[in-house]
Amino acid sequence: MKPAVTVRADEATNSAIFDIPDDLLRRYDVAGPRYTSYPTADRFVEAFTPEDYAQALTQRRSGASAMALPLSLYVHIPFCESLCYYCACNKIITKHHDRATGYLRYLAREVDLHTAQMGLGKMVSQLHLGGGSPTFLNDTELRELMAMLRRSFSFAPGGEYSIEVDPRTVDPSRLDTLAELGFNRLSFGVQDFDPAVQKAVHRVQPADQVFALVAAARARGFESINADLIYGLPQQSPESFDRTLAQIVQLRPDRIALYAYAHLPERFKPQRRINTVELPSGGAKIAMLSRSLQTLVGAGYVYVGMDHFALPGDSLAVAKRQGRLHRNFQGYSTQPDCDLIGLGVSSIGRIGATYSQNAKTLDEYYDALDHGRFPIVRGLALSRDDLVRRATIMGLMCQGQLQFEAIELAYLVDFKSYFAKELEALVALAEQGMVVVDDTGIQVTAQGWFFVRAVAMVFDRYLQTDRTRARFSKII
């Protein structure tokens, strides 16, 4: 048996980019979960109640985990001033900034419900403000939000405290406020620098505006700056996206998230405003992906995995080299696997062996809090099988390898018997050079790292049962 190519060696993984044939990219141009959790959020059920969530919090307070790993917090700010046609996020388009006042008041009630169950001062090592546009909040409102969180939780020194930034709503003085409030990581929504593409998706933001903000952020000492890109948008072509890539390389953010646009107008109403005639063909999207991989790696970025790139010195690239990657609802993370409290409308959380999601509309969210109950509308208590498969999938997604013995000792199963059908299904992937399987475990190859979702999907019991994948984005 040939030796496995470890995905922890950035040089091996990066060099494999230049050997990926286009026909392989086309073969795996299929839909599949991103595995920010397992089971995935589409498997949550309404039978999971606010009472179930409260019980999970209570168990955490009295259990060993209460003294172990710190918490992660996610706060969803749903408001945006302007609609981006590609957006699939839960958002509310409004120019009435007074709506934020009431929303913050209800966020405080939700936090109070948590501290009533868990106690004050629980340690937090990771905070992410997402949306919508968190920078919809003005400086005073951001200060109010952070003061409320700091009254209720203890923030660990050296933690990761990030916020998504709409460049159209931020100037250097606002960056001063974000730094003052303790944010040390920024994520700028770029998507594409081409003016025609920006107009087609209703998100016009000149490149020089983004460049100026990134320069100002660096001058203020933010530890990591991320830029989001999307390929497959209307008016894009491989040649136009090459120009955006060249500008991104010049901008040189610490991290880059490169996403494939999923056109699902039947699910996401804003996408109905996109002229489908202007969408690039499947072949053009494959070309954009292939050229993006080569351009970014050629510019010195490490392919971390699953759409993520980072400069070699960034903590995400370092975590990959050291085998310390983790995965949560925000994607790859350097923080240890820990409980996540989701605050705000539509937020998703994880406590112990449970997942939960808040109400998706403001009316339902407000009504639950008015009645003094958690705004949980669905969730899941994981079964033993879910836990075994979660450990397996996350091992592959984060470390690119799996030792059978580790799963067997942790979950008291015989791996080869338990996953006999799955191991049989891996034979085809092994023949394609995606994985190496031996008597001790599974190793994802350098090439296979680019298709790791396809490897993980083999172990997804729900997906194998119903084969319904149309709800998911493409796996590459």
Q: What is the CATH number of the domain that holds 439?
A: 1.10.10.920
CA nearest to 22, candidates 286, 307, 298: 286
Give the domain-ending residue among 310, 342, 374.
342
Q: Is there a domain that residue 23 lies in? A: yes
- Close Cβ partners of 428 (under 8 Å, ≥ 6 residues apart): none
Q: Is there a domain that residue 363 lies in? A: no
Asked if the peptide bond before residue 132 counts as cis, ω within 30 degrees of 0, the response is: yes
Contact 437, 423 (CB under 8 A): yes
My answer on whether 334 and 397 are in the same domain is no
Q: Is there a domain that residue 285 lies in? A: yes
Q: What is the pTM of this model?
A: 0.91
Q: 146 vs 3, 138, 178, 329, CA distance in Å?
A: 50, 12, 10, 21
DSSP E strands in 103-174: the ranges are 122-131, 153-165
Q: Is there a domain that residue 375 lies in? A: no
Where helices occur in 220-312 by DSSP H, the ranges are 238-251, 282-298
Q: Is there a domain that residue 310 lies in? A: yes
| 440/172 Cα distance (integer angstroms) | 54
- Using a 10 angstrom Cβ sphere, with 0-12 exposed, 13-18 middle and 19 or more buried, the burial of residue 12 is middle
My answer on whether 321 and 435 are in the same domain is no
Q: Is there a domain that residue 356 lies in? A: no
My answer on whether 15 and 68 are in the same domain is no
Residue numbers of the domain that contains 158: 42-342
Q: What is the CATH number of the domain that holds 157?
A: 3.80.30.20
Q: Is there a domain that residue 299 lies in? A: yes
My answer on whether 21 and 64 are in the same domain is no
Tens of each residue's pLDDT in the chain, 476 residues = 333 333 344 555 565 555 677 777 777 777 788 898 999 999 999 999 999 999 999 988 876 555 567 899 999 999 999 999 999 899 999 999 999 999 999 999 999 999 999 999 999 999 999 999 999 999 999 999 999 999 999 999 989 999 999 999 999 999 999 999 999 999 999 999 999 999 999 999 999 999 999 999 999 999 999 999 999 999 999 999 999 999 999 999 999 999 999 898 998 999 999 999 999 998 899 899 989 999 999 999 999 988 899 999 999 999 988 888 888 887 888 877 789 999 999 999 999 999 999 999 999 999 999 999 999 999 999 999 999 999 999 999 999 999 999 999 999 999 999 999 999 999 999 999 999 999 999 999 988 988 899 999 999 999 877 655 445 655 55
Please state the domain count of the chain: 2
Q: 102 vs 169, 277, 362, 371, 393, CA distance in Å?
A: 21, 41, 10, 16, 40
My answer on whether 151 and 289 are in the same domain is yes
Greatest alpha-carbon span in the chain: 65
42 phi/psi in degrees, rounded to 5? -70, -10
My answer on whether 273 and 397 are in the same domain is no
Give the domain-ending residue among 313, 342, 371.
342
Q: Is there a domain that residue 378 lies in? A: no
